[in-house]
Amino acid sequence: MNLYIEEIKDGNETRTLALSAKTLKTGGESPQARGGHAAVLMGSSLYIIGGANRNQEYSTRIAKFDLRQGKWKVLQGGSQRNAVVHGGMYMPTQEFYNDTWVLKEEDGSLCWLEPRQEGLTPSARNSHTATLVEGEEGAEKMVVIGGGSSSGLLLSVEIADLQDLPDKITWSKCEEESLSRISPREMHTCSLYKDFLIIFGGRVDGEEVVSSEAILIDKTSLKALVVKVESTSFKRCGHAMAKVFRLFSGRHADLAKLRDSRLILVGGLDLTAPEICAQSVEDGETLARFAHSATTVTTGGEGEVLVFGGVNFSSDLNDVVAITSSVAKE
């Protein structure tokens, strides 16, 4: 069943882009059903970190999904890679965090390291976004945007210099005058797309006010923020956003040039209805969920989005749904 169909003009030809989704059959020991977690792609494995179910039972184990085998399995090492986790909240005590931890995969094992934080360290928060961007001369930076705190919703863009990991992280802030067109928010998404960070949706202002704005930030000028705000017809929070590739099917001399991508929104919640934004998938299940994750992965040169977990009004989820794209010539 198609989630989305779009006609694309390719010179004198018309092609049809279709997105479809299917729940994957997975092996191994399934992880705890949960929402509010983080999903990090490291090599050929997807790591699920943190999160809780509706009974506030928090997961303290890291789940690893092997993309090649389609199995959940006991954590094993691989190439040297790092994942960075910042902030969060422990609901039973209403405690917010502003610490930063590095998950390091090396020599057959995984370990947590806490780097020294220097500069303008962000205030404690949860329900924020943390997005990896490449800075000048290839230096990696993590951009933390918004979130909720004990004093309410936050309006901030914090920038972490990651070049000295895992020993230290150096923080700086975006100039406040550059944020005048952005409302404080939480439960939004932020994705890197071409030359922009794109912030979408989230809970803003009052308890039941949900944004339908798409905010574009020039990734090359984070401190002197360049912002463009676009209104949309989609109003949601607790959703996920990821990049999906479109690939022209069949033999074509310009296949590489014709390869492109789209950002897609998956699920989420409209607090004013309230209803869950839903799409059906091939096996009769739906993508009706919020507080889930969506991660772009590439296997065999093709791209797909893997959606994990989340919650709906009746269940905590731990399924894996693959969203794929295809382009056919008419």
Task: Give pLDDT tens digits along the chain (330 positions).
Answer: 566 666 766 667 776 777 888 899 999 999 999 999 999 998 888 999 999 999 999 988 888 899 989 999 756 444 446 789 999 999 899 999 999 999 887 766 778 899 999 999 999 999 999 999 986 666 789 999 999 999 999 988 999 999 998 899 999 988 777 787 788 999 999 998 888 899 999 999 766 789 998 988 888 777 656 677 888 888 899 999 998 765 544 443 343 333 567 788 889 988 766 666 777 666 666 788 999 999 998 765 567 899 999 999 899 999 999 988 776 655
CA-based nearest residue to 129, from 116, 114, 148, 115? 148
Question: Residue 261: CB partners within 8 Å, gap ≥ 6?
Answer: 193, 243, 244, 245, 246, 303
Q: How distant is the alpha carbon of residue 169 from its chain centre?
A: 22
- In this structure, the dihedral spanned by the alpha carbons of residues 296, 300, 302 and 304, taken in order and rounded to 10 degrees, is -30
| Residues 109, 114, 119: CA angle, nearest 5 degrees | 145
pLDDT attached to residue 37 = 95
pLDDT in tens, 247-267: 544 443 343 333 567 788 889
Q: What pLDDT, in 10s, does the model give residues 99-145?
A: 999 988 776 677 889 999 999 999 999 999 999 998 666 678 999 99
User: If you write DSSP's letter for every residue of 157-176 in order, what string do you get?
Assistant: EEEEE-TTTTTEEEEEE--G
E strand residue ranges, 43-108:
45-49, 63-66, 71-73, 81-90, 95-106
What's residue 175's pLDDT? 76
Strands of the 157-161 sheet, one edge to the other: 116-119, 168-173, 157-161, 140-145, 129-134
Which one, of 156, 167, 170, 162, lies nearest residue 141 by Cα? 162
Contact of 41 with 58, CB cutoff 8 Å: no
CB 306, CB 40: distance < 8 Å: no
Element (H, E) at 238: none
Closest CA to 194 of 258, 260, 128, 265: 260
Alpha-carbon Rg for the chain, nearest whole angstrom, is 20
Q: Quick check: 53 and 32 in contact, CB under 8 A? A: yes
CATH class of 77-237: mainly beta
| Residues 85, 242, 109, 24, CA torsion sign | positive
Residue span(s) of the chain under CATH 2.120.10.80 come to 77-237
Tokens of 318: 């731990």
For residue 329, CA distances in Å to 2, 191, 229, 279, 302 come to 16, 30, 35, 25, 18
